[in-house]
Amino acid sequence: KAGVTQTPRYLIKTRGQQVTLSCSPISGHRSVSWYQQTPGQGLQFLFEYFSETQRNKGNFPGRFSGRQFSNSRSEMNVSTLELGDSALYLCASRSSGQGAGTGELFFGEGSRLTVL
């Protein structure tokens, strides 16, 4: 069974640009969550999608957005990049339709974004 796949694994952007990251969940998983990991702030929840609808959203500015497609694949977009957006962006999927408290999250290897 294939795991969570994130692309690209590494990317470099400059300030003011935008970026789109992609996540393919484990087959059959309908919930996809995104997390940002930085040395200073640690792991922070961005948002969760279930059946193409954003169900939960963390405390991030509107520059961070996402969507989910009918095949459960998800994308997240960051517009007007800032230096502080440099981070490892992790995607996670799970099979349960309930809240994050039930069922384990399966994570991808992440997309490492560097903003210059």
Residue 44 CB, nearest approach to another protein (Å): 8
Contact 89, 111 (CB under 8 A): yes
Q: By C-beta, is 38 or 80 nearer to another protein? A: 38
> Residue 16 or residue 61: which is nearer to another protein going by CB?
61
Return the number of the residue (40 or 70) whose C-beta is nearest another protein. 40
We find the least distance from the C-beta atom of residue 35 to another protein, in angstroms, to be 8
Contact present, 23 and 41 (Cβ < 8 Å): no
CB of 63 to another protein, least distance (A): 18
What is the Cα–Cα distance from 52 to 35, expressed in whole angstroms?
18
Residues that bind another protein (CB under 8 A): 33, 35, 42-45, 48, 55-59, 88, 90, 92, 99-102, 104-110, 112
Instruction: Determine the Cα–Cα distance for residues 47 and 116; give it in Å rounded to an integer.
Output: 25
Identify the three-state secondary structure at position 85: helix
Question: Could you tell me which of 91, 92, 86 has the C-alpha nearest to residue 38?
Answer: 86
Minimum distance from residue 97 beta carbon to another protein (Å): 12
Cα angle for residues 24, 29, 35 (degrees, 5° grid): 60
Taking the least distance from each CB to another protein, the nearer of 19 and 87 is 87
